């Protein structure tokens, strides 16, 4: 198991773009045999990016309802520097309890551990592991894996900072080849599932490329991003 974890860390260290970060979350989820692994960060320009294994339905719902503004995990971790078990957070309000019930319905899990990370120039990130289990099982998982999870969290953030500081995959006005491909397939009228098949990647990974392209283009949603990519001549259909 430890050798496999080391191999996953090596894969992460060699990541070339946000799509590789997405693949790393999927491999880590499978390695730990838990429901989800998610890495979300806000760069120094205030742009948000994410890689993780939550369902597309939950991601869409989260954005639609603007849950970022009231998510107890986000709000609680903004005030902390050490890893936070979700049970330690304030779920006392009616809105927070309703949010948590809905998250469970969408498969997020009833247990979670989030590791806040702070980088230069206001960069902030969260690395989260979550699962469906009882308190005893979750406590045992955290006790056994906390140290490795903290190391992995900082490896994710180190790579994200490399992207931001000028790597070929850093957020910039130019779209990467994978982002261009994703936009092109969507512009041709393909569904996300069809586009993922054409690109030979998972829908989760496709989502990462689409979101990265949307942020770079300053678009409000995916349709807006495709329209901007077409109007700027970045893609041709």
Instruction: Give whole-number Cα distances, 174 to 19, 120, 214, 227, in Å.
Output: 16, 24, 11, 15
Q: Are 176 and 168 in contact (CB under 8 A)?
A: yes
Residues 145, 90 share a domain: yes
Q: Are residues 131 and 214 in the same domain?
A: no
Distance CA 74, CA 25 (A): 19
Higher-pLDDT residue of 46, 168? 46
- Reply yes or no on whether the pLDDT at 194 is more than 90: yes
* DSSP state for residue 121 in the 8-state scheme: G
Q: How many structural domains comprise the chain?
A: 2
Beta strands in 132-235 (DSSP E): none
Instruction: Give CA–CA dist 95/203, Å, rounded.
Output: 30
| Residue 107 and residue 48 share a domain | yes
92 shares a domain with 209: no
pLDDT at 169 over 70: no
CB 94 within 8 A of CB 103: no
Give the pLDDT score at 168.
Answer: 41
pTM of the model: 0.74
Instruction: Flag whether 237 is in a domain.
Output: no
- Per DSSP, the three-state class of 124 is strand
Considering the domain architecture, whether residues 25 and 107 belong to the same structural domain is answered as: yes
Whether the pLDDT of residue 45 is over 80: the answer is no
The whole-number average pLDDT for the span 72-79 is 90
172: in domain = no
Query: Residue 33: which domain range?
Result: 2-164
What would the mean pLDDT of 109-136 be, rounded to a whole number?
91
Task: Please report, for residues 24, 26, 56, 174, the alpha-carbon distance to residue 18 in angstroms, rounded to integers and kept in the order given.
Answer: 10, 13, 17, 14
Both 149 and 205 in a single domain?
Answer: no
């Amino acid at each position: 198991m430890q050798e496999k974890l080391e191999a996953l860390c090596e894969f992460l260290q060699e990541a070339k773009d946000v799509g590789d970060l997405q693949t790393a979350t999927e491999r880590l989820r499978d390695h730990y045999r838990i429901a989800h692994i998610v890495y979300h960060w806000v760069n120094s320009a205030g742009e948000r990016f994410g890689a993780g294994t939550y369902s597309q339905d939950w991601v869409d719902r989260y954005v639609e309802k603007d849950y970022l503004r009231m998510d107890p995990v986000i709000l609680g971790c903004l005030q902390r520097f050490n890893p936070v078990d979700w049970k330690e957070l304030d779920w006392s309000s009616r809105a927070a309890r309703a949010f948590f019930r809905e998250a469970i319905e969408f498969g997020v899990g009833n247990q979670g551990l989030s590791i806040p990370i702070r980088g230069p120039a206001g960069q902030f990130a969260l690395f989260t592991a979550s699962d469906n289990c009882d308190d005893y099982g979750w406590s045992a998982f955290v006790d056994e894996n906390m140290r490795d999870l903290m190391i992995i969290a900082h490896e994710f953030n180190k790579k994200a900072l490399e992207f931001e500081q000028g790597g070929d995959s850093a957020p910039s006005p130019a779209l990467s080849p994978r982002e261009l491909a994703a936009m092109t397939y969507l512009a041709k009228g393909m569904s996300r599932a069809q586009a993922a098949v054409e690109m030979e990647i998972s829908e989760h990974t496709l989502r990462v490329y689409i979101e990265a392209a949307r942020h770079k283009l300053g678009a409000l949603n995916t349709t807006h991003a495709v329209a901007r990519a077409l109007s700027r001549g970045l893609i041709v259909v």
